[in-house]
Amino acid sequence: MDAFIQYTAQGLAAGGFYALAALGLAVIFGALNVVNFAHGAFYMLGAVLTAVLLDVAGINFWVALVLVPVILFGFGIIIERLLVQWLLGLDNLYSFLLTFGISLVLVDVIKIRYGVSGLPYGQPPGLEGLIRIGAVQLPVYQVFVFVFSVLVCLGVWLLLAKTRVGVIVRAATEEPERARALGINVGLWVTPVFGFGVALAGIAGVLAAPFRAITATMGSSFIIILFAIVVIGGLGSILGSVVAGFLVGLVEAYGQGYASTFSQIIIFVLMAVVILVRPAGLFGRKESA
């Protein structure tokens, strides 16, 4: 039972940054119809930047948690203006290939600069040690990651559900041409939404820094799991990406705990089952004609 609670805590923490990153992927797909293959690389950049900022400038975890997403938001805007925007009218295979290329470049740049062995990162100040919950002791950091990512997801939901910006983004996502005919300059919203999605990947990267190996290639396996999450949750579904993010985090943790031989494939078995039972994903809407 104690083991089960520990795996659950691990799963919810991992699920937290899966959910954040998948949310970013879903927002970008929804508003731009871009399947952003570079999302794993942006997540990696978030983690690397967190480690480098501490090493070079002594910037601690808490400041990085604010600063890194802001930097990645700006980086996302530059990438969108410079590269992605030119392919938006075309089949989304083109932007998929473009972002695949972007991810290869980013990974290699980081490899050349920082090598392939991991960058060190300690426990964030104030989040060291264990916390006793009932009969089990859990790392404080895991609990923090879970709570923080739930809060960010909630914040994004409030932004989309309750604000004028959210109304416009939802309208532009559902039917961009109609939104234009109603006087909304859809193009104006596309760039910040892309930056916002990249920033979410960046937050996931910051959260991952203290308990994952920080390497240039950390995003490569991450993006594969992210795509599995997005397929399970339903492509473009905001709620689906969050729920599936936590679900996959849990499944992965139980897999590692109880059936470590199969832990790598168990997520993809889950994905295959979801595709068989609900091809559009758990929260996906059927493709409209």
Partner 1 sequence: MFEISGLSAHYGEAAALHDVSLTVGRGEVVTLVGRNGAGKTTLLRCAMGLHRDSVGAITFDGARVEQLSPDRRAKAGIGWVPDDRGIYSTLTVFENLTLPPVVSKEAWSLDRIFEAFPALRNRRSSMGTQLSGGEQQMLAIARVLRSGAKLLLLDEPSEGLAPVIVQQIGHIIREAKASGTSILLVEQNVKFAATVADRHYILAEGRVVESLDNSEFQRREGELLVHLGL
Q: State residue 24 phi and psi, 5-degree precision.
A: -60, -45
Among residues 81, 113, 178, 278, which is the contact residue for partner 1, using CB under 8 A?
178
- Rounded to the nearest whole angstrom, what is the least distance from the CB of residue 131 to partner 1 in the complex? 40
Residue 174 in the binding site for partner 1 (CB under 8 A): yes
149 or 237: CB nearest partner 1:
237
98 or 186: CB nearest partner 1:
186
| Secondary structure (DSSP) of 70-135 | HHHHHHHHHHHHHTGGGGTTS-HHHHHHHHHHHHHHHHHHHHHHH-SSPBP--PPTT--SEEEETT
User: Could you tell me how many residues of this chain bind partner 1 (CB under 8 A)?
Assistant: 17
Residue 183 in the binding site for partner 1 (CB under 8 A): yes
Instruction: Estimate to the nearest angstrom the gap between the alpha carbon of 133 and the chain centroid.
Output: 28
SS3 content of the chain, % helix, strand, coil (to 5): 75, 5, 20
- Rounded to the nearest whole angstrom, what is the least distance from the CB of residue 194 to partner 1 in the complex? 19
Give the residue from 76, 25, 63 showing the smallest Cα distance to 232: 25
186 or 226: CB nearest partner 1:
186
Residue 136 in the binding site for partner 1 (CB under 8 A): no
Residue 163 in the binding site for partner 1 (CB under 8 A): no
Among residues 184, 213, 272, 280, which is the contact residue for partner 1, using CB under 8 A?
184
Residue 168 in the binding site for partner 1 (CB under 8 A): yes
Residue 287 in the binding site for partner 1 (CB under 8 A): no
Give the single-character DSSP code of 259. Answer: -
CA distances from 46 to 53, 217, 249 (A): 10, 13, 20
Among residues 33, 67, 127, 175, which is the contact residue for partner 1, using CB under 8 A?
175
- Rounded to the nearest whole angstrom, what is the least distance from the CB of residue 30 to partner 1 in the complex? 10
Per-residue tokens: 226: 């992210």
- Chain positions 186 to 215 lying near partner 1, rule: CB under 8 A, are 186
| Secondary structure (DSSP) of 16-66 | HHHHHHHHHHHHHHHHH----TTHHHHHHHHHHHHHHHHHHH---HHHHHH
- Rounded to the nearest whole angstrom, what is the least distance from the CB of residue 151 to partner 1 in the complex? 24
Q: Cα torsion for 230, 216, 249, 131, to the nearest 10°?
A: -150
Residue 224 in the binding site for partner 1 (CB under 8 A): no
Among residues 3, 86, 185, 279, which is the contact residue for partner 1, using CB under 8 A?
185
- Rounded to the nearest whole angstrom, what is the least distance from the CB of residue 247 to partner 1 in the complex? 23
| E strand or H helix that includes residue 241 | helix 238-258
| E strand or H helix that includes residue 136 | strand 136-139
Residue 179 in the binding site for partner 1 (CB under 8 A): yes
Strand partners, 138: 131
Among 133-141, 182-190, 215-223, 275-283, the segment contacting partner 1 (CB under 8 A): 182-190
Q: Give the binding site for partner 1 (CB under 8 A).
A: 167-168, 170-171, 173-175, 177-186
